Structure 1
Amino acid sequence: MEGKMPVFLEKHDQELMRKKNRMLVFNSIQQHHPISRTDIARLSGMSAATVGRVVADLIELGLVKETDQISGGVGRKATMLELNLESIMTVGIEVDRNLTKVALVDLSGRIIVENQQLIDQNEKQLDNLIDAIVRLVAEMAAEQGIPHSKFIGAGVGLPGIIDSEQGVVVFSAQLGWRNVPFAERLEARLNMPVVLDNDLKVKALGESSFRSLDVIPAETVENITALVSIGSGLGAALIMNQKIYRGSRNIAGEIGHSIIDPNGKLCECGKRGCLQTYITDLALLQEANQIREVSSLQELFRYMEQGEPWAKSIIDRACSYIAITINNVVCTYNPNSIILTGKFIEEHPGMFEAVNLKLQEFIGEHFSGSFEMFRSKLGERSVMIGAAKLVLQQQIDYGLVHKS
């Protein structure tokens, strides 16, 4: 019938809204517990009836419980809600070129215990890597007295192009991997579900989890957080309503390969003038070494602090390109917040402010004041926390978490 939505589309939309509401209510409780149903409705912009249904669902899943506390203030008293922290645990894993980090994470997103191991990654040593992860998880769980039955899954963040649905590392230059079914192989050894994604995407998810309701008004239609990372590479990730925005092949955010000068420097991807050829660690050091031998970003910062004009010029120009990058992200996605991270920002206390100052020269009038910009809040733990969050999201989405 004309004008009527097909039944399968209507059911699909209803299912998406149900998942969105469930995650929104859970995030409200996670960030503000103990909290009343009334306050959840106020923070989220949802109706009291919808909040009531979702809370009942989360209680049934064993994730949330009512407390003995009663809300104070004027008016009708309300029973408070809090997370059932004893119900489940997740594992958050970061795999980098020569360092693997593993954390056990509780329902609130707090790392209970973490450990790491130096190990050179390549496809031939994949079994060694999996052995190390399995051993670290077992040792930490035993140390904390956490039974295996408490774990609902493990999340892994690593650099490269990832097929997150299949759990396959399509290509990772840093690790030397191509078409590696990492999730399947790790899942068989850990004996729990494993989800796999790009490290920047899970890092953005981790960071956004601790900001969204504090900075986004309830009436805002979309809660969008963009993470921009500047270091050995240049990349971005987008979180929309607490979900990773992936694009058609899970490669959304590769802004380092956007071309700003078709006659510019040759990039490792084979094209000329890619943005990352101007502002990555390697690009800055290559430019600096035309003047003086410089072996690290920290050394370049030291020359800048000593008043060397050439070093100041290189850093100033990098700040300009980063500001241009942020402006492009803002114009394209109109995010509520931007998180700046990576070695360039985190290894010198003045770079965040320098980029923010430069941004005023490039940001358009209509976009000025439309977003807030932050430093990384979780630092080196953000990938592990984000990976654990990804597991939890998947379980909550599909109602796979059950009361223990």
Structure 2
Amino acid sequence: MTGRNGRTVRDLRRANRTAVLQRLYFDGPLSRFELGPATGLSSGSISNVVADLVADGLVEEAGSVDSDGGRPRILLRVAPASGHMIGVDVGETRVRIELFDLTLTELARVEKPLEQRRYEVEGIVGHIREGVAEVLAAADITPERLLGVGIGVPGIVEHTPDRGAVVHGQTIGWDAVPLEALLREGSPLPATVPYFIDNGAKTLGQAEMWFGGGRGARNAVVVLFGSGVGASIVTPDVEQGRAVEWGHLTVRVRGRRCRCGSLGCLEAYAGAEALLDRWREEGGRPPRGTDEETALSAMLAAAHPADGGEPDAVALTLLDETAEYLGAGLSDLINLFQPERILIGGWAGLELGVRFLSAVRRHATAYALRHPAEKVTVELGRLGPDAVTVGAAILPLADFFTRGGRRPEPLPTGPEPAWRTALEERAPH
């Protein structure tokens, strides 16, 4: 049966389940009495939905609290073991794979190092497949219990009807790579377990908005500062966030060659890879045979010696320049999107940390228009180096909530009988 607004009883039931699950997830444990005002549902609807979710194993009791003169109220929470997600971060030095329960408690993880930033497609696909199998085995979880596998990747992700997620990663040499289709080929996962593939900056933003420094903000920018730089824009119109190739904003006409092939990109001056290249060109000596994270630590130590010795003047100057480039880049985001908050994450952003932040904040304010600059705060992200992986795992979790806590069903082999559809539409909610 369809209402005047086009919503069926099934749609309403799903929306009610979603509302209760989300409130318990973010604000629980809560009693049935508290769920009413929190969701806007009637007490009768709350009773029906909770009974349904308990029967499905998604909600469980979590103790009780005294009520005013009546019986104690039973507290409810989302059952952690009722679902599992895998998050994957295709990073710049490694592929990180983590398994989580429904409450995003980590159950297992593996890391697959990338040799000399080698992004061969077959190698990345192999790392993801092996890592998924390893974390499932480590936690003794069967693949059928997964809600999905979320993957954060560098580059632009296009979602196509025939090949699934296709990655356009110009800076890593990926030209229309059908990553989802490649993962499906020979995958040990059943067809009912979906893949959710998106830009790594977006998954970082998703994590910070749900659990980190972005909670409560309606307009925010989350910056991924690593070998390259990227950003995710969150607005009321795009609540799930939108990845933007901020690192390829032109900051100097006919400037340095960027790894994307263009000239004068922000990434060519502010990305960690470019920063280390500039240090080497000026005579800096990062440790040989180390990855970028170790080399950047060495550069930071040279610029700010812990023993109070003479700082490396070149390293200090380059770090100051990088802070100004980043600040100027942030000013464009401030002027364009007028966010309430800007959060800086990624391994390089976290490595440079608080010492770097004040200079970035100062330059962002100086280059931006005064009115939006006065309203924005610029801070470090709060979720640490695992934020991209956590955000990737949130992708299947968010989809699970949208479907009211229902798992994907196998594709039907034929049309559903009319009598069954009619009964489901008329079922009580």
Structure 2 matches for 1:330-345, cutoff 5 A? 330-345=334-349
1:245 match: 241
- Give the counterpart letter for 2:53 in structure 1: I
Q: Distance in 2 between matches of 1:197 and 1:100?
A: 15
Post-superposition offset of 1:400: 6.5
* Cα RMSD (Å): 4.0
1:381 aligned onto 2:386? yes
Post-superposition offset of 1:180: 2.5
1:107 aligned onto 2:102? yes
SS in 2 for 1:90: strand
Runs (5+) with no aligned partner, structure 2: 287-294, 305-309, 409-429
Q: Distance in 2 between matches of 1:365 and 1:73?
A: 51
The Cα offsets for residues 169-194 of structure 1, whole Å up to 9 and x where unpaired, read as: 33224654333322133235122221
- Structure showing greater radius of gyration is 2
Q: Distance in 2 between matches of 1:19 and 1:318?
A: 49
Structure 2 matches for 1:5-404, cutoff 5 A? 11=6, 26-36=21-31, 47-49=40-42, 56=49, 59=53, 62=56, 64-65=58-59, 67=61, 69-71=63-65, 79-96=74-91, 99-118=94-113, 122-123=119-120, 126=122, 129-165=124-160, 166-173=163-170, 175-188=172-185, 189=187, 190-191=189-190, 192-211=193-212, 214-216=215-217, 223-240=218-235, 243-246=239-242, 252-295=243-286, 296-305=295-304, 306-349=310-353, 350-368=355-373, 370-399=375-404, 401-402=406-407
Post-superposition offset of 1:105: 0.9
- Give the counterpart letter for 2:209 in structure 1: S
Q: Distance in 1 between matches of 2:43 and 2:330?
A: 37
Q: Distance in 2 between matches of 1:56 and 1:336?
A: 36
Q: Contact 1:35–1:81 at 8 Å: present in 2 too?
A: yes
Q: Contact 2:95–2:114 at 8 Å: present in 1 too?
A: yes
Q: Percent identity?
A: 23
Post-superposition offset of 1:102: 1.3
Farther off after superposition, 302-311 or 49-58:
49-58
TM-score after normalising by structure 1: 0.78
SS in 2 for 1:401: coil
Q: 1:41 to 1:381 in 2, by over 3 A?
A: farther
Post-superposition offset of 1:159: 1.2
Q: 1:174 to 1:271 in 2, by over 3 A?
A: closer
Q: 1:62 to 1:388 in 2, by over 3 A?
A: farther
Q: 1:75 to 1:268 in 2, by over 3 A?
A: farther
Farther off after superposition, 50-59 or 88-97:
50-59
1:4 match: none
Q: Distance in 2 between matches of 1:23 and 1:41?
A: 14
The Cα offsets for residues 307-348 of structure 1, whole Å up to 9 and x where unpaired, read as: 344433322222122222223222322333322023442223
Q: 1:178 to 1:358 in 2, by over 3 A?
A: closer
The Cα offsets for residues 271-317 of structure 1, whole Å up to 9 and x where unpaired, read as: 43322222122433344345323434333323322434443332222
Count residues with an aligned counterpart: 382
Post-superposition offset of 1:104: 0.9
TM-score after normalising by structure 2: 0.74
Q: Distance in 1 between matches of 2:55 and 2:263?
A: 52
- Give the counterpart letter for 2:299 in structure 1: L
Q: 1:365 to 1:282 in 2, by over 3 A?
A: same
Runs (5+) with no aligned partner, structure 1: 1-6, 217-222, 247-251
